[in-house]
A and B are shown apart, each in its own frame.
Chain A
Amino acid sequence: MPRVVVDVVLKPEISDPQGQAVLAALGRLGHDSVRSVRQGKHFVLEVDGTPDEAELRKIAETLLANPVIEDVELHFPND
């Protein structure tokens, strides 16, 4: 069954305290080379038949993400 992956991340202008907390923890562990962390969500959707890009984009933008604060990225099977 084809799988479609949807990544949801906060828009760049929205501050991400969880990502900042992860970055601070990395610093405490000695990983000084990491400059920035942004935390997001990763959805894997299994769909019947050939994935309909327009429908999946609508799903991503109306439920999986809040377009006020988040951006979405869709990945299709042959990407």
Chain B
Amino acid sequence: MRIGVITFPGSLDDVDAARAVRLAGAEPVALWHADHDLKDVDAIVLPGGFSYGDYLRAGAIAARAPLMQEVMDRARAGMPVLGICNGFQVLCEAGLLPGALTRNSHLHFRNRDQALRIERADTAWTASYAPGERIVVPVKNGEGRYVAADADLDRLEGEGRVAVRYVEGNPNGSMRDIAGVSSENGRVVGLMPHPEHAVEDLTGPSTDGLGFFTSVLKAVVSA
């Protein structure tokens, strides 16, 4: 199983994401934003960071990078894609996920360990969890407030596409405490918190994040 991790100019968490992939038992494959080559990977992770310095809007320029053409084509054909933090912003800007991420309501960068509830355990990236399971992983963002029109949020909730929700405090003012959402088919998932920083006791607040990376192993085998 080969899982690609894309590096954009300004990506920060690509090495941590690759490490999480390896700890989950898959082979991490480094992908470069300016190529048109997905190197035969089975799934893709868009990591956190500040691609293009968040110029224009967070994720806006990375969403138009050359490699994103291939990512969009394969995602629409069912390949699992996970966007973490800046990667989530890129997927929203690319139109693969609904809504948008805007500046935190309190205007501060927020960096802390965050409790989350797994709302959907039937996506490609959350199948290792139990529905309703509480996990704790780091959150660190300045533009993490998830927003969409009320009617769109009602539709997403109705379709079961709110994958992860903040509990015990909302770190950024996200509407309806939404931390992560999925595509209609559950193959593309984006979230602001960082599961890849919670995969080892030595460095994380827990190892709760590993489940995202083990989930996709099952999703690819069953596809």
B134 contacts A by Cβ under 8 Å? no
Question: Given A18-B107, A21-B107, are A66 and B93 neighbors across the interface (CB < 8 Å)?
Answer: yes
Query: Measured between C-beta atoms, what is the minimum distance from A26 to chain B in Å?
Result: 16
- Which range holds the interface residue count of chain B? 20 to 34
Pick the residue among B93, B98, B105 that contacts A15 (CB under 8 A): B105
- Are B60 and A66 within 8 A (Cβ)? yes
The complex places the Cα of A67 from the Cα of B57 at a distance, in Å, of: 12
Binding site for A on B (CB under 8 A): 56-57, 60, 64, 92-93, 98-100, 102-107, 147-150, 173
Size range of the chain A interface in the assembly: 10 to 19
Interface of A with B (CB < 8 Å)? 10, 13-15, 17-18, 21, 63-64, 66, 68-69
Majority DSSP secondary structure for residues of B touching A: loop
A-B contact pairs, 24 of them (CB 8 A): A13-B149, A13-B150, A14-B102, A14-B147, A15-B105, A15-B147, A17-B105, A17-B107, A17-B173, A18-B103, A18-B107, A63-B64, A64-B56, A66-B57, A66-B60, A66-B93, A66-B100, A68-B92, A68-B98, A68-B100, A68-B148, A69-B100, A69-B102, A69-B147
